[in-house]
Structure 1
Amino acid sequence: MRADAETARLRGACSRAVSSLTECAAEWVAVGVDRTGPVVLGPATAGTFEGFGVDVRVTLGGTAAPDPELPLPALITGLLREQAGARSAPVHLLAPDTPAEESRRLGESLAAESVGLLVLADGTNCSDERSPHPPDERASGLDEQIRTALAEVDTAQLQALDPQLCAELGVEGRAALQVLPGVVAASGGTWRGELLYSATPYGVSYHVAIWTRQP
């Protein structure tokens, strides 16, 4: 029962985050990481969670036939977009080994667009006995680095994420997180972070946060 309650908290935090995003912008751009990257999936893209055991169909904004092999970050984007009522949400998928500076440059380019930015990335997947991989004592430190950076809008901490360490500890979305420093640097101003959730249900860490540029 605790696990079910915990995942309900995670879903609630995600719902709150994307509702806040839609309040700021009806058009989104999402960034995630997948082996098929680098690629941009336009708003006409659609997919289904059938490969995960349930035929829930989602779209990034159009009416195309669902792609049964649509990568998970795009599927989640489509699901959150529909739940929050955003009009469209094209997805930039980066390769797992994308250098930090390349991610930063993408962030700088996205900052020029009048859209909400949705970043999808997991935490570690080897923190305890419930994890899908053997526990690694380094996981807690890496999760704390990500958690603190998201809560405090600490772009230097995100920029400093070590690609090799992240790969070893299951932070497959490292390159997506490193888009954020470019967005903040190019946008300027003062930013406020709000950490909505940070925990490790089923042995995989998730952190949900909202970053807002202050007037």
Structure 2
Amino acid sequence: MLVAAAVCPCPPLLVPRIAAGAAAELEALRAACADALSVLAASRPDRLLVLGPVTGTGAVRHAGGASGGFHGFGVPLSVRLARAGQAEPPRAADDGAALPASLAVGAWLVEKAAWAAAPVSGLAVGEESGTEACLALGESLRVPDERLAVLALGDGSTTRTVKAPGYLDERAAPWDSAVAKALADADTEALAGLDPVTARALGCAGRAPWQVLAGAARGADLTGSLLYEEAPYGVGYFVAAWS
């Protein structure tokens, strides 16, 4: 069963070596992510699943020890889904691919938190996956007698300002506000109701992972807390903790 969840954004700029001189601008976001990870550790899980978006449809599982990095951003930094001292031997993802960028950021957050609570695995879900498929995938994660914690990664709209990556869309701010409220309330039905077409138009990569989380959390009776809600660079970023 799902015992806790943390929701964090996954811009590579979270990694200070990538942000370089602008690293301080996201320090509050990094601190909020660390606080959310501490909630996961406190839940005493049997397993941590790092869940993030990837281009396309479907889902790819990444076993403990799967590696990735940020060489594509000009930074020779590698990460892997592992917990110090008890990780599985390093190996490739189940499809033979390295971790996608979202899971690489998640792995970096886990490493930064000095995670030592439970084994770690990953799940990349296609941004184009339909709502019902996402909810069903989330429901399939529930294993009786297993205490599961989830780190769900995903950004909000990329259209909050004229300088945003997707330019300005007047629907973006209300969309992000609705997402923030759903995350704050651990409202699985509100997350399940997010429209994939609107999400795509607003450049919201987090919709699919959030709906997988909603499927996993149905019936778990978790309560939520919103730790961060801002739109630096015109992109909606949220941090929430469910326990």
Q: TM-score range by the shorter chain?
A: 0.7 to 0.9
- How far apart are the structure 2 equivalents of 1:207 and 1:160? 18
Q: Deviations over 1:90-136 (max 9, x none)?
A: 11111122111111122222232422111111011110133112101
SS in 2 for 1:146: helix
Change beyond 3 A, Cα 1:4–1:95: closer
Where does structure 1 lack aligned partners over 5 or more consecutive residues?
none
User: 2:69·2:99 contact (CA, 8 Å) conserved in 1?
Assistant: yes
Match status 1:204 vs 2:238 = no
Structure with more of its chain in helix, by fraction: 1
What's the CA shift for 1:65? 7.0
Match of 2:48 in 1: 28
In 2, are the aligned partners of 1:47 and 1:65 still within 8 Å (CA)? no
Name the counterpart of 2:6: none
Is the 1:57–1:66 contact (alpha carbons within 8 Å) kept by the matching residues of 2?
Answer: no
Match of 1:193?
224
**Aligned-residue offset at 1:66:** 8.2
Structure 1 residues 180, 64: CA separation in 2 closer, same or farther (over 3 Å shift)? closer
The structure 2 residue matched to 1:12, chosen from 21, 31, 40, is 31
CA distance in 1, matches of 2:74, 2:91: 19
Partners of 1:156 and 1:6 lie apart in 2 by: 33
* Distance of 2:91 and 2:193 partners within structure 1: 40
Q: Indicate the SS of the match to 1:90.
A: strand
SS class of match (2:165): coil
Amino acid paired to 2:134: S
Could you tell me which runs of 5 or more consecutive residues in structure 2 were left unpaired when the two chains were aligned: 1-21, 83-87
Specify the code of the residue in structure 1 equivalent to 2:119: S
Give the conservation status (yes or no) of the 8 Å contact 2:70–2:78.
yes
Relative contact order, CA 8 A, sep 6+: which one is greater? Answer: 2
**Is the aligned partner of 1:168 residue 2:201?**
yes
Aligned-partner Cα distance in 1 for 2:173–2:235: 11
Equivalences for 1:75-86 in 2 at 5 Å? 75-84=104-113, 85-86=115-116
> What's the % identity of the aligned pairs?
36
Task: Measure how far apart 1:26 and its partner are.
Answer: 6.2
Aligned length: 208
Aligned AA for 1:64? P
- Secondary structure in structure 1 of the residue aligned to 2:159: coil
> In the superposition, relative to structure 1, how do residues 4 and 46 fare at CA in structure 2: closer, same or farther (>3 Å)?
closer
Are residue 64 (structure 1) and residue 90 (structure 2) matched? yes
Whole-angstrom CA distance in 2 between matches of 1:42 and 1:28: 11
Aligned match of 1:115? 148
CA RMSD in angstroms, aligned pairs only: 2.1
Choose which of 214, 225, 228 in structure 2 pairs with 1:181.
214
Counterparts of 1:26 and 1:42, CA distance in 2: 15
CA positional deviation for 1:6: 4.3
Bigger CA drift: 82-91 or 115-124? Answer: 82-91
Contact 1:27 1:88 in 2 (8 A): yes
Matched with 1:106 is 137
Report the TM-score, using the length of structure 2 for normalisation.
Answer: 0.78
